């Protein structure tokens, strides 16, 4: 039963992610991205990671999508039908087939996940997901976390400068 539920959610996630790329209207593309985020949150719940699921919904489906829709409306993007070249379609199809082949090959060999270490399910249940994430974030990944915060601050300042009207 769990595998059938996973396959249904995975199929919806793949279809909505394809719609993100193929929709010509940016608002429809953003709504498809929200659906992809919700499917990813559902997959987190099936992996017994409820904190990650709630974080996925609140941060990405909530805050980031509001920001993306705000930028789309701020920039007033016009939807224009642009003819795609046959070379671009062929290259995209070839890359897609290569990635599909590579995924099937890795899944067949069973080496897709190279996770190693002493962390098992019992220890995660004993310690808790949130505590493990917090320890990893503020010990092992402190520098990338701070660099990301500085990058986001620079992006906010850049967006304010670009959006500021000249009087």
pLDDT on residue 11: 92
Question: How far is Cα 23 from Cα 31, in angstroms, rounded to an integer?
Answer: 10
Using H for helix, E for strand and C for coil, what is the string for the chain?
CHHHHHHHHHHHHHHHHHHHHHCCCHHHHHHHHHHHHHHHHHHHHHCCCHHHHHHHHHHHHHHHHHHHHHHHHHHCCCCCCCCCCHHHHHHHHHHHHHHHHHHHHHHHHCCCCCCCCCCCHHHHHHHCHHHHHHHHHHHHCHHHHHHHHHHHHHHHHHHHHHHCCCC
Longest dimension (CA), the chain: 63
pLDDT on residue 55: 85
Tell me which residues of the chain have a pLDDT lower than 70. 76-89, 106-121, 123-127, 165-167
pLDDT on residue 118: 65
pLDDT on residue 29: 84
């Amino acid at each position: 039963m769990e595998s059938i539920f996973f396959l249904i959610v995975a199929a919806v996630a793949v279809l909505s992610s394809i719609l993100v790329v193929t929709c010509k209207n940016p608002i429809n593309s953003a709504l498809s991205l929200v659906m992809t985020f919700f499917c990813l949150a559902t997959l987190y719940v099936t992996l017994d990671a409820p904190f990650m699921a709630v974080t996925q919904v609140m941060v990405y489906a909530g805050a980031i999508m509001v920001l993306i829709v705000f930028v789309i409306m701020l920039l007033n993007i016009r939807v224009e039908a642009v003819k795609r070249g046959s070379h671009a379609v062929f290259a995209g199809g070839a890359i897609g087939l290569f990635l599909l082949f590579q995924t099937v090959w890795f899944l067949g060999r069973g080496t897709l996940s190279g996770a190693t270490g002493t962390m098992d399910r019992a220890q995660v249940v004993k310690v808790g997901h949130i505590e493990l994430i917090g320890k990893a974030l503020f010990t092992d990944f402190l520098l990338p976390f701070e660099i990301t915060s500085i990058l986001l601050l620079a992006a906010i300042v850049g967006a304010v400068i670009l959006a500021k009207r000249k009087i």
